[in-house]
A = this chain, B = another copy of it.
Amino acid sequence: MARAIEIVEVGPRDGLQSEPEVLSTATKLELINRLVASGLKRLEVASFVNPKRVPQMADAEAVLAGLAKVPGVQYVGLVLNRKGFDRALAAGCTEVGLVTAATNSFSERNQGATTEELIRTIEEIAPLAREAGVRMQVTLSTAFGCPFEGEVPAARVVEICRRLAKSNPLEIALADTIGVAVPSQVTALVEQVRGVVGDVAIRCHFHNTRNTAVANAYAAVLAGVSTLDASVGGVGGCPFAPNATGNVGTEDLVYMLSRAGYDTGIDLTQLIETARWLGEQRGKPVPSMVSKAGGFPAGTVRASA
């Protein structure tokens, strides 16, 4: 039996958040529904942050209200503080994603607080999530490099993960926020972090800024990681990280994993159609490669004209 790899679709949040255009709530809902239809079961659909700071996410409550509950499908809300957590809970998220960064410079520019303060926020919210019966996971930004501080010592990432694991999140995601990681670094960091997080799973989040995202994802899978973030069409980036282009495209990742013999449970043909449809909605083609080239062999998935 093929080993299963779970993909968390972050396009509707991490992807769209960095787009210059703001998609309508109806378009976002159609996007999410299409992604669910293609087989995705965990989708980051909204960010409960200050709408003045991230106008693309101002309709977070409306998006959640418009989504049909589908058995087995988790709608994840990004939450940066207690206020955001309360909003996500009220909106009906079944999973919340919390965030801190491996560097203070990034924590402060991205979330307006030090890494230590953000960890304390996570420690405050973790028991509340448990009481409320919602899943809770944590992402550690700039785990492979920081746009402001440069190289991030692995020892610092390991120490933060050791502490985060005490809050018993569903998983800790090592995020290459600015797309600088290389596969050897992924192999080493995953191994080191695994040594300190006990039973807490490791997720990985890669950006393709320097064309290494698929290589990093494969290295993570070989290192035993079974959950990866990806963004339909490869849209996204980070508005507060200079030069951070898109997340790895979901269809690029699904193509590689499927052809390498892993089971993602996702229909590549449908996913490619959705990526192309998203390109039409935003008025320019999405940056992923498989959305242009199609799958292989020809006929399995249609190539674009």
Q: Which residues of A contact B (CB under 8 A)?
A: 145, 147, 150-151, 178-180, 182-185, 208-215, 217-219, 242-243, 245, 248-249, 252, 255-256, 259-261, 288-290, 292-294, 296-299, 303-304
Q: How far is the CA of A249 from the CA of B212 in the complex (A)?
A: 12
Q: Tell me if A294 and B145 are in contact (CB < 8 A).
A: no
Contact of A150 among B210, B248, B292, B298 (CB under 8 A): B298
Q: Tell me if A290 and B260 are in contact (CB < 8 A).
A: no
| Protomer copies | 2
Q: How far is the CA of A145 from the CA of B214 in the complex (A)?
A: 19
* Chain B residue, CB-CB nearest to A214: B215
* Residue of A255, A261, A289 ringed by the most chain B CB atoms within 10 A: A289
Which 6 pairs from chain A and chain B are nearest by CB? A150-B297, A215-B215, A211-B289, A184-B260, A180-B296, A211-B252
Q: Known contacts A210-B256, A211-B211; can you find 19 more A-B pairs with CB under 8 A?
A: A145-B296, A150-B297, A180-B259, A182-B256, A183-B215, A183-B260, A184-B261, A185-B260, A208-B211, A209-B289, A211-B214, A212-B214, A212-B252, A214-B214, A215-B215, A215-B218, A243-B292, A245-B289, A245-B292
Q: Tell me if A183 and B218 are in contact (CB < 8 A).
A: yes
* Chain B residue, CB-CB nearest to A260: B184
Residues on the B chain within 8 Å of A293, using CB? 179, 209-210, 243, 245
Contact of A256 among B145, B215, B255 (CB under 8 A): B215
Q: Tell me if B249 and A211 are in contact (CB < 8 A).
A: yes
Residues on the B chain within 8 Å of A242, using CB? 303
* Chain B residue, CB-CB nearest to A304: B243
30 contacts between A and B (CB under 8 A): A145-B296, A150-B298, A180-B259, A180-B296, A182-B256, A182-B259, A182-B260, A183-B215, A183-B218, A183-B256, A184-B259, A184-B261, A209-B289, A210-B255, A210-B256, A210-B296, A211-B211, A211-B288, A211-B289, A212-B252, A212-B255, A212-B256, A214-B215, A215-B217, A215-B256, A218-B218, A243-B292, A243-B294, A243-B303, A243-B304
